[in-house]
Amino acid sequence: MTDEDQLANDLLGPLRDPRVGPAQPSAANVSAAVLSGRRKIRLRRIGTVAAGASVTMLAVASGVFAATATRPDAPPAAIELPTPSATTSADNSPDPAGSGGLPTGCRLAQLPVPGDPAQSIATGIDPTGRYVVGRSQSADGKSHVIMWDDGTPQQIPVPGSDQRLVDVNAAGEAVGSSFQGGKEVPWVYRDGKLNRLGGSAGTVPVAINQAGRIAGYRNVSSDRAVPVVWQAWNEEPVDLPLPGEASKGYASDVADDGTVVGTVYLAGDNPAGERGYLWPTSGSASTLPLPTVEGVQAKGFHALTLTDERRDDAGRLEAGRVTGSVARKVPGQKELVHDYVHVDVRTGAAIVLPEQEPFAQANGHNKLGWLAGQTGILEQSLPAILTPDGLLRLPRPKNLTSLTATGLSDDGRVIVGHGSDSQARTQALEWRCQR
C-alpha cells in the first residue's frame, strides 16, 4: 500500500471504526488525500453511503485535508475573521450541576505553523488548553507533526509516514503513531524526546492520562482487535480481557484514576451489539448497563469517556458518568436512532444531550462530557460543541468551509479545530472563550 493509499484510508475513516487497522483501498478516487487526523473516538453514523463518489464526498466532509488545491504551491489564504458581534451562539436550556454554563464570547484565531505550510490541522488538546497537537503539510507534500505550547508551535520529528499525535496530557506528554514499512507503530513524546512505545506493529495508542497511563488497541487481524494498556511509557503493553462473547474490543480513553474506557462488540460491527466496557486498575472488568432512554432500554451503547468516578475501599466503582452514544429503537422508524448521552454507571439511566440540529460528528470530549464536533456535512459543516446545556455554535471564518471542532479543554475555554479554504487547503483554528 502506498503512502497516498494509506492517507486515503484515513479519509475513509468515517465509514468504519477508526481504531481498526487500515481498510482495503477504495475504488473512490481519493488517493491524493493527505494529512488526515485519525479520530480517536467513533464518528456518528449518518446513514449508509455507497462506494464511489459519495464515499469521497463524505470523507472530505470529516474535516481533514484533501489535496484538491489547484495551486498547491500557493500559500494558504489568511482566514477572514467574523465580525466582533459574531461570537458564540447557543440554545438555552437548564444548566446541569457542575457544568458552570456554556462558554460565551468565543474568539477565533488561526494557529500559527512553522515554515511555509500549505495546510494544517489540529488533532488534540490537553485538559488545560495549554498544549495542542496537530499536523501540517508543506508545499512539497511533506507532513510534519506539531505541538503548540500556549499558541507557540514546535515541529516534532516523527519517523515514517502518515505521522500523527492524537492525545496529550497537561504535562505535554503526547501519544500517536506513524507507518513504517507499511505497518503502524506507536510513539510517545515526553520530556522533549520522542520514544518508541513497546508493542508489536499494529499496536496503536489513543489516549494518555495525567499520570502517563496510556490506552490503545492491538490489531490481531483485519477484523479483530483487542484493547491494551501501557502502565508506563517504558513498559510493554498488556492486553485487556474481553468477555467471552465479544468478537473484538477497543479502548477509547483512560480516566484520571487509570480506568480504561472502551467498547466491546458482541455481533460484529452491528451497533446493536456494542457494549460499553470498563477496565479498572484493580478488580474485575465489567460491562456497562445498557442505558435507558425515554423509558426504553437501548439496543447498543458505545462508550467514549468516564468522568466523576468514585470507588469504595475495595476498588469497586460507586459512582461515575460515561459519555457515549446509544443505538435505540423508536416506534415507527425502521432504522435504529443514535443519540449522544451521559449515563449513570450504576443505574444505566441516561441523559440525552439535546441536539437542536443534528450533531453530525464527534471528534473530542472533556471531563464535563462535552463533545467537540460539527453540525452538517460536506461544505456545510459548522464547528459546534454538544453539551447537556444544548448545542454551542462556534464563530466561523468568512472564507472557510468544511469546518469542525476536534478537541476542547476541560473547562471549555479553549477549543481547536480546522476548516478548508476555496482551494481545499485546511487550516488549524483555535477558539478562546469565556465562562
User: Which residue type occupies 435?
Assistant: R
63-118 pLDDT, tens per residue?
Answer: 344 433 334 455 566 667 665 434 444 443 333 334 568 899 999 999 999 887 78
pLDDT value at position 74?
55
393-407 pLDDT, tens per residue?
Answer: 999 988 899 999 999
> Residue by residue, what is the 3-state secondary structure of the chain?
CCHHHHHHHHHCHHHCCCCCCCCCCCCCCCCCCCCCCCCCCCCCCCCCCCCCHHHHHHHHHCCCCCCCCCCCCCCCCCCCCCCCCCCCEECCCCCCCCCCCCCEEEEEEECCCCCCEEEEEEEEECCCCCEEEEEEEECCCCEEEEEEECCEEEEECCCCEEEEEEEECCCCCEEEEEEECCEEEEEEEECCEEEECCCCCCEEEEEECCCCCEEEEEEEECCEEEEEEECCCCCCCEECCCCCCCCEEEEEEECCCCCEEEEEECECECHHHEEEEEECCCCCCEECCCCEECCEECCEEEEEEEEEEEECCCCCEEEEEEEEEEEECCCCCCCCEEEEEEEECCCCEEEECCCCCCEEEEEEECCCCCEEEEECCHHHCEEEEEECCEEEECCCCCCCEEEEEEEECCCCCEEEEEEECCCCCEEEEEEEEEC
Joined grid coordinates for residue 81: 475573521
204-231 pLDDT, tens per residue?
Answer: 999 999 999 999 999 998 888 999 999 9
Are 341 and 352 contacting, i.e. CB atoms less than 8 angstroms apart?
yes
* Radius of gyration of the chain, Cα coordinates, nearest whole angstrom: 20
341-365 pLDDT, tens per residue?
Answer: 999 888 888 899 998 788 988 999 9
CATH annotation of 3-434: 2.130.10.150
